[in-house]
Structure 1
């Protein structure tokens, strides 16, 4: 048998398995896999296209730009949130819902930082906002106050997630210890209130401080009506 006879016959392109059709969902699924495996910096149109065996230009039919991609990634992550709680008061349910949202962001600190400048869009995000507005309405927050308040609540959760996301517990403890040490040697004459309240400033668990902050916002929404024109009188 000759070498030529032993060589496999060329394979026609028509015999190769057809590539799956591109979809928005498929693109985001690949983006999420890259995010979990390699981090957000590696989630690029070129990288996604390579994993899908297509050209980067093809993705722009389904994703407008990188900002749109990031917004859709966050929306997909929100789809993994636990179901909205049904037991307890409206305030308790809202606390649990916002804590769950915070958990998603803390687990993905790079995405959390992006939400500071990029508004998420999509069914999961709108479902979250709709639920928050419903709970605020149930609690007696006027609709006009709730319309602004939902942004305040989500921004507060996002800021907390950005502050704490991605940092090891030991790093957080070290930072607090350093702050406490500096407060201890702060001259009382120059900063009397800091020295007097130093222990209180550092007291409480992260969960306690988070819950208190949400209550401050909720109490403010209940007691601070918007003016007729939307401006302070």
Structure 2
């Protein structure tokens, strides 16, 4: 009859680290979905107690944000240093970000409210700001614009995270097509154009619209709307080096 081995003979557990916890969370999410990435589930995966995980993460939301940041390392930032129009390259970066979220549907929905703050997120933000600066977007507009651009990409991924339900889309299409010009003249006039364009086409247009809007819309100054900006600067006056910094 075999005797139980001494605890001293068992291999020592690896030291718990933030990186190890995030790696385990990514594995659990890939196999079971983000909903299963909880402190209790990870504690079981790492052979420890839930209390030990709270040393590294205050709550599950913070853990999910760390998982998102880990996956943002897969975003292709090479367009930043490539040649070509800065708008096209910015759109390519945002498209890569969206595709990363597409690969993890449950994470895409969580990303709408997640607040990542790791190095991968910072690199992504820095890349977007670099391209906006290359396009001569005023710094104050760029600082708010980066948030809008990421929100559009995130919400696009989240909207399609669960897959498009044909019945729901058919119901929307039927409702739009059934309107009467007497009650909804503008919907009736646009007709099928309201439903036109594939997902990527609409997303691409949305990104372009936001980029152009960020470029052309000044921030408010002391609660008063700033002066409209032309291509070369405010009212056609070239911006100084200080304004470009």
Please report the TM-score for the alignment, with normalisation by the length of structure 1.
Answer: 0.90
Counterpart selection for 2:193 from 200, 209, 218 = 200
12-21 vs 61-70, which deviates more?
Answer: 61-70
Please report the TM-score for the alignment, with normalisation by the length of structure 2.
Answer: 0.86
For 1:230 and 1:96, the matched residues in 2 are separated by 35
Q: Provide, for residues 145-179 of structure 1, a one-character-per-residue CA deviation record: whole Å limited to 9, x for no partner.
A: 000000011111111111112215xx2x4443332
Give 2:73's aligned residue: 79
For 2:37 and 2:30, the matched residues in 1 are separated by 10
Counterpart selection for 2:214 from 215, 218, 221 = 221
Counterpart selection for 2:128 from 132, 135, 138 = 132
Task: Please say if residues 106 and 165 of structure 1, whose CA atoms lie closer than 8 Å, have aligned partners that are also in contact.
Answer: yes
Give 2:31's aligned residue: 37
Q: Provide, for residues 60-87 of structure 1, a one-character-per-residue CA deviation record: whole Å limited to 9, x for no partner.
A: 1222211110110000111122342223
Gaps of 5+ in 2: 227-245
Task: Please say if residues 141 and 218 of structure 2, whose CA atoms lie closer than 8 Å, have aligned partners that are also in contact.
Answer: yes
Task: Please say if residues 176 and 187 of structure 2, whose CA atoms lie closer than 8 Å, have aligned partners that are also in contact.
Answer: yes
Counterpart selection for 1:191 from 165, 172, 184 = 184
Matches within 5 A, 1:1-233: 7-85=1-79, 86-168=82-164, 171=165, 173-229=166-222, 232=225
Q: CA RMSD in A?
A: 1.6
Aligned to 2:78, the other structure's residue is in SS state coil
Aligned length: 224
Change (3 A) 1:130 1:201: same
For 2:130 and 2:145, the matched residues in 1 are separated by 12
Larger Rg: 1
Gaps of 5+ in 1: 1-6
- TM-superposed CA distance for 1:106, in Å, is 2.3
For 1:147 and 1:205, the matched residues in 2 are separated by 30
